[in-house]
Amino acid sequence: MLEVKGLTGGYHNKAVLDSVSFDVHKGELFGILGPNGSGKTTLLSMLSGVLDYKGGSVRISGRDLKDYSSKQLAQVIAVLPQHSSLAFSYTVKETVSLGRYAHQSGWFHSWSAEDESNVQRVMEQTGVADFQDLHFDRLSGGERQRVLLAQALAQEPEILFLDEPTNHLDLSYQKDLLDLMRKMAKEQKLTVISIFHDLNLAGLYCDRLMLLEKGRIQVVDVPNEVLQQERIQGVYHTTIEKHPHPALPKPQMFIVPEKHGQDTIPLEIDDSYLTVGFEMIQLKSPIPLRTMSSGVTGSGTGWHKYFVNRHVHHGYDCEDHHVEMADYLTTHGFEPQETVGMMTAVFLDTVASKLLRAEDFSVFIIVTAGVGNAIDASLADRHSWSSAPGTINTWIFVNGHLAEEAYIHSIVTATEAKVKALHDLHVMDKVTNTCATGTSTDSMLIAATQRGAKLQYAGTITPLGKLISRGVYDCTVEALTNNRKRIEEL
């Protein structure tokens, strides 16, 4: 659809673009990225015939851009510029109708039924039909943006150029605009070429991205390849982190603000933050901790300040334990969004906890362990679904800065240590009469202060892994022993 070869040029004596070459296919949503001043708008101006270029070529549908008359060009391309103002004040409908100019002929052209239905359709699509009789200059920035998009669509172009189209739009209209662009690209084969400053939106919606740096192409590829952490940091000269989108296989880049003063002071989570009661064990951290857990609330990854291990009766049963637990936390003064909440039927005074220190970091471990429903994982299929309750809840607080992978290592290491504790205490699966490896409802939490020593790994023989192994093993043995004694006393 669009072939750009060796495009070179700029303004007067100032060279901006240096030998830029790329192709865009029909029906593609193509994003142009780059820091301020890298030449994005200059490139768009050249591609849309507004700015002349010194060298190279631009071909649209196989024909050189310079061979198109301005009217022919208006039938093929439309532009939604970054900043627009109108010389005269038209109504919204009149403004949109200007887009039909390219399809009208002669001096005294008449307004056809086709023109009318086209204008009404694009006003509906962009959500401006309701205020079509209002004057353009009375509209908000976002409303104007949508009216100008409607005008561009009324042109029925084959290629639509957009310069930061979401600039003035609120969250919902950003999504609507880009959903519409993608729909038109896929269903009507409209080719959309758009400049983006928001890397995440570009990554979510575009088929391919082109990254410009100082007037040259750094890379053209699919979003996952272009949005590499090191590449973006290098081109934009700032610290960012790349993470997967929670719902889609798309990359998302996050700005990481500079840390100041108090945010950098190391903090040690230990038993001074812990309260053991009859009804709940609670740990209140003075700062949010980065967590990975299988709690009833606060599960998955997140940031949490409060940690609750709640005692429930053996016969605890309710329709929706997530809702019930959130209600319980709220009633007891905890904000569920900030709390990792777990449940256990064991008596909480059987809890075991231990602080273990290495040279520049430490680990605080807390375990409650009941094994009424001990299970051998290798023979789990022999168990019926409804078994007696019994749970091992393991909390691991790391006073250090954990890498993402170290969270997974920590869970693996802690699980291995727990299994060994069960083995050494001869905990048996009553159904299979073999050694148990855990219970059917065990839960785990890894929470880190993300301050102080960087801890990349937590496998069993790493410095962190050694503390977790020792601590989880000792605490599980102690908690199980306490629990056995407690049951004997009853």
Ligand X SMILES: Nc1ncnc2c1ncn2[C@@H]1O[C@H](COP(=O)(O)OP(=O)(O)OP(=O)(O)O)[C@@H](O)[C@H]1O
**Where on the chain is the footprint of ligand X (CB under 6 A)?**
11, 14, 16, 34, 36-42
CB 305 within 8 A of CB 288: yes
The CB-of-50 to ligand X minimum distance in angstroms stands at 11
426 burial type by CB count under 10 A (0-12 exposed, 13-18 middle, 19+ buried)? exposed
Toward ligand X, which CB reaches closer, 36 or 384? 36
| 29, 136, 381, 413, 440 from 145: Cα distances, Å | 19, 10, 60, 54, 56
The CB-of-14 to ligand X minimum distance in angstroms stands at 5
Toward ligand X, which CB reaches closer, 19 or 275? 19
The CB-of-41 to ligand X minimum distance in angstroms stands at 3
Instruction: Report CA torsion sign: 216, 222, 227, 230.
Output: negative
Toward ligand X, which CB reaches closer, 84 or 120? 84
Toward ligand X, which CB reaches closer, 8 or 299? 8
Toward ligand X, which CB reaches closer, 38 or 132? 38
The CB-of-40 to ligand X minimum distance in angstroms stands at 4
The CB-of-16 to ligand X minimum distance in angstroms stands at 4
Residues 6+ apart with CB under 8 A from 298: 291, 304, 336, 338, 339, 340, 341
- The conformational region for residue 177 under phi > 0 = left, psi -120 to 50 = alpha, else beta, is alpha
Toward ligand X, which CB reaches closer, 2 or 32? 32
DSSP 285-322: EEEEEEEEE--SBS-EEEEEEEEEEEE--TT---S-HH
Toward ligand X, which CB reaches closer, 217 or 296? 217
CA–CA separation, 316 vs 320, rounded Å?
A: 11
Give residue 322's identity as a one-letter amino acid code: H
The CB-of-86 to ligand X minimum distance in angstroms stands at 21
The CB-of-6 to ligand X minimum distance in angstroms stands at 18
The CB-of-49 to ligand X minimum distance in angstroms stands at 16
The CB-of-422 to ligand X minimum distance in angstroms stands at 60
Toward ligand X, which CB reaches closer, 38 or 155? 38
CA–CA separation, 23 vs 1, rounded Å?
A: 8
The CB-of-240 to ligand X minimum distance in angstroms stands at 17
Toward ligand X, which CB reaches closer, 237 or 313? 237
Give start and end residues of each alpha helix (H) in 155-295.
Answer: 171-187, 199-205, 223-226, 229-236
Toward ligand X, which CB reaches closer, 4 or 479? 4
Toward ligand X, which CB reaches closer, 58 or 96? 58
Toward ligand X, which CB reaches closer, 37 or 300? 37
The CB-of-238 to ligand X minimum distance in angstroms stands at 14
- Tell me how far the alpha carbon of residue 253 is from its chain's centroid: 8
Toward ligand X, which CB reaches closer, 227 or 417? 227
DSSP 31-66: EEE--TTSSHHHHHHHHTTSS--SEEEEEETTEEGG
* Cα angle value 272/275/277 (rounded, 5°): 160
The CB-of-44 to ligand X minimum distance in angstroms stands at 8
The CB-of-168 to ligand X minimum distance in angstroms stands at 15
CB 458 within 8 A of CB 465: yes
Buried b (16+ CB within 10 A) or exposed e, 159-170: bbbbbbbbbbbe
CB 413 within 8 A of CB 460: yes
Instruction: Report CA torsion sign: 448, 452, 456, 461.
Output: negative
Determine how many CB atoms are found less than 10 A away from the CB of residue 70: 8
Residue reference for tokens 């407690």:
486
Q: Which helix (H) or strand (E) holds 329?
A: helix 321-331
| 388 three-state secondary structure | coil
> Which contacts of 302-307 are long-range, i.e. CB under 8 A and separated by 24 or more positions?
304/338, 304/339, 304/340, 304/447, 305/338, 305/339, 306/282, 306/334, 306/335, 306/338, 306/339, 306/340, 307/282, 307/283, 307/339, 307/340, 307/395, 307/445, 307/447
